[in-house]
Amino acid sequence: ASSTNAIAREAGVSPGTLYQFFPNKEAIAIELGDRLMHEMRDMYGEALAPLDPSTPLEEAVGGVVDRFTAFNCRHPVFFALMHGPDIPGRLAEEHDALHANLLAGIEAVIAAFLPDAPAADVTRTARMCLGLYKAGLELVLSHEGAEREAYVRELKNVLIRYLAPMVAEARSAA
């Protein structure tokens, strides 16, 4: 919803300078989105690295939520770009690919905790976790300071309480 003049002012350049590099706001959004998606890919490669199955669930969930939340708090425009109504077509396609890779990473983490679960159950659980995270992230991003920290704790609690019974059942069956 920002104007190119406002973008130029925020960037500390003249509108003319901005137009030398970007013909319109969509081009700016695409470039910014590309850069942030690349950074997000690097970050989630670390956040969703293979886990030792003996890792406590709270530690695994906390580590993933902390990394993803920190990224989104550093780059709140990422959430707006990726979930806004005017996402440019090319960016939407790249976001869909990023989302599919992210979901596969979450599935791998969940599969480490639920090694005997059918693939369809792991996929459903991963989708549910991602949906819960995205809903909670919107609340996290709309607050600051201690209130933001409280929402992050609540988000972790929701995910842990959702996953804990499944993990406990899998571990007792093993």
- Per residue in 135-151, pLDDT (tens digit) is 999 999 999 999 999 99
The predicted structure's pLDDT at residue 66: 93
Check whether 155 has a pLDDT greater than 90: yes
pLDDT band at 118 (very low <50, low <70, confident <90, very high): very high
The predicted structure's pLDDT at residue 151: 97
- Per residue in 66-91, pLDDT (tens digit) is 988 988 898 887 777 766 666 666 66
The predicted structure's pLDDT at residue 14: 87
Mean pLDDT of 99-123: 92
The predicted structure's pLDDT at residue 88: 63
The full 3-state SS of the chain, as one line of letters, equals: CCCHHHHHHHHCCCHHHHHHHCCCHHHHHHHHHHHHHHHHHHHHHHHCCCCCCCCCHHHHHHHHHHHHHHHHHHCHHHHHHHHCCCCCHHHHHHHHHHHHHHHHHHHHHHHHHCCCCCHHHHHHHHHHHHHHHHHHHHHHHCCCHHHHHHHHHHHHHHHHHHHHHHHHHHHHHC
Mean pLDDT of 58-67: 93
pLDDT band at 96 (very low <50, low <70, confident <90, very high): confident
The predicted structure's pLDDT at residue 33: 67
The predicted structure's pLDDT at residue 95: 72
pLDDT mean across residues, the chain? 85
Indicate the fold that domain 24-173 takes in CATH. Answer: Tetracycline Repressor; domain 2 (1.10.357)
Domain boundary assignment for the chain: 24-173
